[in-house]
A and B are shown apart, each in its own frame.
Chain A
């Protein structure tokens, strides 16, 4: 198929950006969206032009590197990551807009590449269990009810791609942060740091300049791993509980 692409081009973080138009031809329906961009880049290199920069790595939907807003949707029209989006979701002759994640906490590095290190700092604030190597008890010393283990897993699936932030009208990181809080806080291993974890992670999230949550729900719709919107409610509950407990101390 033949497509018209309108791609955000921005040379560097401090440069101005603009949409540039490109034509690509000979695109197969079996190609992934990123393979389609590879095709464009091969042509650009041979023409002596700068290829389009975009983040990608595993190309199997798990590393969380790829991050494109396609026709206004984070990761495009299907509920998946950009790397797992295939060209069969588009029609011959389509015009496709390709932009980076847009959020003040995710500044553009170049073209479609953004800086998501704010997510790392939220995890550093408390998204862990303090369990130094060597100090672990026997794994079967503590049984974890299966529903709790499953709940933890469903939240632990977050790949940290940032689609939730890109989709949110406020640029909030509530779904990302709540996924980690819920994963660790439900487990007995995470219980001793339950309060400090949620308080510190939320404080860091605010400090990074992410917006507030108005429960618009766009985050959960865009999430390629299906982290549910109710995850945010769970984190709010944890936060309230922790705040009350802190005020009693």
Chain B
């Protein structure tokens, strides 16, 4: 049976979301969840993989509650997790602006922004918790932007018409992450967290159907070790680096989630990837990553291209009436602040028409001339100074005098491990939080919602729900490295690394990664079609076969070996990419960031097909290259009635 001849298995249900009014479900669940007596918590060990906003906040909070936490990050310090690079802000339904915001409106905006492919229960909970997150972060000393009266400032973001985004200049992710890192540090000092930096999870240990530990590699010595716990929490981020070029950090990877998938955790909606509209265009073959320019810039920057095809004049010589401010023209009520998927696709369309600017015509202008004239250069500097500096540094152009050039790039992955309302995966005892799970953003994430979700999961949701699991499984057998299952996982991991080192071929890890990335960008990027996806599905197994024949990894496994780390991550990308394409092929509708060319309205907007596809696709692994089993979780909308999204 070939990979594309998958079968549909039993439907999957979120059994933990309580019935009743949506605004009472979280209270109900918290009340019904079993608790662990404070004196018994120290007897439980919880492994947390990752120290970003989700993992950092979860580790700190679980340790504060009294659990013994063993935490891992591959970076040299937990402070470097990629959440640190988030720029724009964090949403919260505080309604400090008195502009009509409410928990219900944030809930509504997020369900609609996600193009009706997220779960109502989860999204409502996220909106409820959003207000507590701001309180928590302020208490930790996070230096949010403030007004002259000393109160918190907010700004607006794409896809919404209220001003609910809290920010710390263009470094909101950094400041929130440092808050979580500092809370984590306090618990490390108190002896409640055993922190393993420069240690990468390479596999999951499942004993008697429960997640009981991980296998990890010490990146300095190369030693492969096993670690045991009563529950495992994956907070390892998204998988955008499948595309090689993305705004993710160089070392962000999918190994933890993919290995968990191989051990039984279903992977949901892998084709839902977010292409962010405002990134700095690539400059050449040497490009190693792409840099985002915060969406907040769309508050004051105006996006345009020349009206005429192939207009080579510099921006300042193109008169006003020969410019096409295409977002303002097509979407007058949201203008430059349409959701990301729509802004990205519009940029692609004008570039495809031959009206793109900059080298290769792969760019559009983001112009601040009007904002500078209206507000003054100083005010613009105050708001966006560090972003402008970053842009100038990379491009050697001054965005105060020459419009920025931007182009869409892979930024975030809405798909991830399937989780129930408790954030538990299909493997009992294995939880996934933050970008690593699939639950809250549907087919498109709104700006400033990733930070909100990461912290909601880590500070508030998981610490409440994991109690229930631990309380129901109090006295699990102690494991040690001699257990046959552990021995088997250790041996498989060692074999895989040894194989990578022994091929001694003629191609570098990066060359394979780049090839895969280009294929994915072409066929599973901003626009997807059945024929393109079938091409990619034919090609990926060939690349995989070639990889194992021609990969060259220098050095040994018993040392600091960055080539080995990279090659091992590519092994997993080469499988995950295939599932992404299959999921995209299965979903023969357009929704959010997933645009199928076969399914569009007459004016080129994404056309959902609710009758066939109003479900989350959770895939069950059956073997490398073997057809996975599709499990559908039907999405029920009781509060936000699905309509064709309109931002006109």
Give me the interface of A with B, judged by CB distance under 8 Å. Answer: 11-12, 28, 30-32, 34-35, 38-39, 42, 44-46, 48-51, 53, 55-65, 78, 80, 84, 86, 88, 109-110, 113, 115-117, 119-120, 123-125, 127-140, 142-146, 149, 152-153, 156-157, 159-160, 183-184, 187, 189-190
Contacts and interface: CB of A to CB of B under 8 A. Distances in A.
Interface string B544-567: 000000001011000110110000
Contacts of B197: 117, 120
Contact of A140 (B79, B152, B460): B152
14 contacts: A11-B559, A51-B554, A53-B562, A55-B76, A61-B390, A63-B80, A65-B75, A113-B560, A117-B76, A123-B181, A134-B460, A140-B96, A140-B152, A189-B139
A11 B147 CA distance: 52
B179 to A, nearest CB: 9
Given A42-B508, A149-B145, A130 B186 contact: yes
B286 interface: yes
A84 B393 contact: yes
Contact of A146 (B146, B182, B185, B506): B146
A135 B249 CA distance: 33
Interface string B266-302: 0000000000000000011011110110000000000
B218 to A, nearest CB: 12
Contact of B139 (A31, A60, A137, A143): A137
A123 to B, nearest CB: 5
Contacts of B150: 143-146, 149
Contacts of B79: 64, 120, 123, 160
Contacts of B60: 133
B135 A124 contact: no
Q: Interface of chain A, helix or strand or loop or mixed?
A: loop
Contacts of A189: 138-141
B420 to A, nearest CB: 22
A39 B510 CA distance: 11
| 4 A-B pairs with the lowest CB-CB distances in the bound complex, closest first | A143-B150, A128-B182, A136-B139, A124-B189
Given A28-B284, A146-B150, A59 B560 contact: no
Contacts of B498: none
A84 B394 contact: yes
Contacts of A132: 61, 64
A223 to B, nearest CB: 14
A133 B61 contact: yes
B250 A45 contact: no
A26 to B, nearest CB: 9
Given A46-B508, A55-B76, A120-B77, 12 more contacts: A30-B286, A60-B289, A60-B390, A64-B79, A80-B393, A110-B220, A110-B559, A115-B76, A124-B186, A149-B144, A160-B79, A189-B138
B288 A59 contact: yes
Contacts of A42: 508, 510-511
A215 to B, nearest CB: 26
Nearest to B64: A132
Interface string B160-178: 0000000011010011001
A67 to B, nearest CB: 9
B185 A120 contact: yes
Contacts of A48: 552, 554
Contacts of A133: 57, 60-61, 64, 136, 183, 459-460, 463
B139 A135 contact: yes
A139 B84 contact: no
A119 B178 CA distance: 13
Contacts of A115: 76
A57 B141 contact: no
Contacts of A113: 76, 560
Contact of A152 (B134, B143, B289, B552): B143
A128 B77 CA distance: 16
Contact of A128 (B186, B220, B291, B552): B186
Nearest to B181: A123
Contacts of B64: 132-133
A156 B82 CA distance: 17
B249 A63 contact: yes
B251 interface: yes
B151 interface: yes
Contacts of A117: 76-77, 197
B372 interface: no
Interface in B456-471: 459-460, 463
A62 B286 contact: no
B555 A57 contact: no
A131 B141 CA distance: 9
B149 interface: yes
Contact of B185 (A56, A128, A144, A152): A128
A189 B141 CA distance: 6
A197 to B, nearest CB: 11
Contacts of B182: 123, 127-129
A156 B178 contact: yes
Nearest to A156: B143
Contacts of B189: 124-125
B506 to A, nearest CB: 7
Interface string B500-515: 0000001010110000
B552 A116 contact: no
B597 interface: no
B363 interface: no
B151 A143 contact: yes
A131 B132 CA distance: 13
Contact of A50 (B396, B463, B554): B554
A164 B280 CA distance: 29
Contact of A46 (B82, B174, B288, B552): B552
A131 B136 CA distance: 8
Contact of A116 (B77, B178, B250, B291): B77
A28 to B, nearest CB: 6
A63 B94 CA distance: 30
